[in-house]
Amino acid sequence: MTHLPAIFGCAGPKLLPDEAKFFSQVRPWGFILFARNIQDAAQATALTEDLRDAAGYDAPILIDQEGGRVQRYRPPVGRDWQPPLDQITASGPRAAEFMFLRARLIAHELLSMGIDVNCIPTLDVATDVTHPFLRNRCYGTDVRAVAAIGQAVAGGLMDGGVLPVIKHMPGHGRGTVDSHLSVPRVSAERATLEAVDFAPFRAMADAPLGMSAHVIYDAIDPRPATISPVMISLIRDQIGFDGLLMTDDISMEALEGTVAERSAAALQAGCDVTLHCNGDLPEMRDIAETVPAAMTRDAARRGRAALAARATPAPVDIPALEAKLAELTQA
């Protein structure tokens, strides 16, 4: 089966007939859910089943449930994660264990609703200038600690049957503006970028899925990484990432042009799929009419490899994990 090189959202908590018809026609590679799509666990489970039925296969269903400020659902659907990430990651040696447990519990919640991809770990290395939209979602300022926590998060998700997505490649931490609104420009020298910003991604280059950064790295290329063949080649050849590479949300205003034009530019640059999050059906139709109808051979191979990494989680004692997490929180 061929798939449109896209990940799409839907407008609300139920799949509308027009959406189902469109998805069955274009067969996107996957879907992504947001708070607007989740009212309760039973409804979310029904929605994930309907999305997969529309796609005609066991499509990946993504979410951003970071376990910090960004949580697409909260009680009573699932846990409200406290304390904030910046408090956890400042806790030193305990941080990786803490984040493994948090990720494993998040995976348990997600999989129970049919959601099998979570867009974490966030491997951006924070700096003094990191924009607030990202700063308290980062795992710290130390390269080794960020990589270690990222590996722990990915391990917790995988143990729970959920695939991780490393983001934002090749590093968003020096961005001083919100890429939802405008394009960040990073002026650091290439040697600094390679030693700091790119390093956690090299440490996790074997991850099944990754997400690009809508960031310009002046020392390397004048185009945002998402639409830069130079930066995508760097991600592939120097960082060594051969997983499926999705764009960050193509609706974000860091990129110029229509969402369809942005999507086409990202795919031409070497991204495997475009990620469109807002559930706007006319925009999704424009994308489907503009981009190739099927993923490239390499993108399809990477997509198959990523989905093959999905595994049935081993039985786990959830109350025991919760008790250990509480113990670490109080320590």
Q: What span, in angstroms and rounded, lies between the C-alpha atoms of 182 and 319?
A: 44
Q: What span, in angstroms and rounded, lies between the C-alpha atoms of 282 and 276?
A: 12
Q: What span, in angstroms and rounded, lies between the C-alpha atoms of 93 and 148?
A: 10
Q: What span, in angstroms and rounded, lies between the C-alpha atoms of 246 and 5?
A: 9
Collapsing DSSP states into helix, strand and coil, what is residue 6? strand
Q: What span, in angstroms and rounded, lies between the C-alpha atoms of 73 and 45?
A: 13
Angle made by CA atoms 94, 95, 96, in degrees to the nearest 5: 100
Q: What span, in angstroms and rounded, lies between the C-alpha atoms of 46 and 50?
A: 6
Q: Has 180 been annotated as catalytic? A: yes
Q: Which of 248, 249, 272, 276 is flagged as catalytic?
A: 248
Residues 124, 174 contacting (CB under 8 angstroms): no
Collapsing DSSP states into helix, strand and coil, what is residue 29? strand
Residues 200, 152 contacting (CB under 8 angstroms): no
Q: What span, in angstroms and rounded, lies between the C-alpha atoms of 88 and 139?
A: 8
Q: What span, in angstroms and rounded, lies between the C-alpha atoms of 103 and 331?
A: 19
Residues 209, 117 contacting (CB under 8 angstroms): yes
Q: Which of 53, 86, 142, 180 is flagged as catalytic?
A: 180
Q: Has 3 been annotated as catalytic? A: no
Which residues are marked as active site? 180, 248
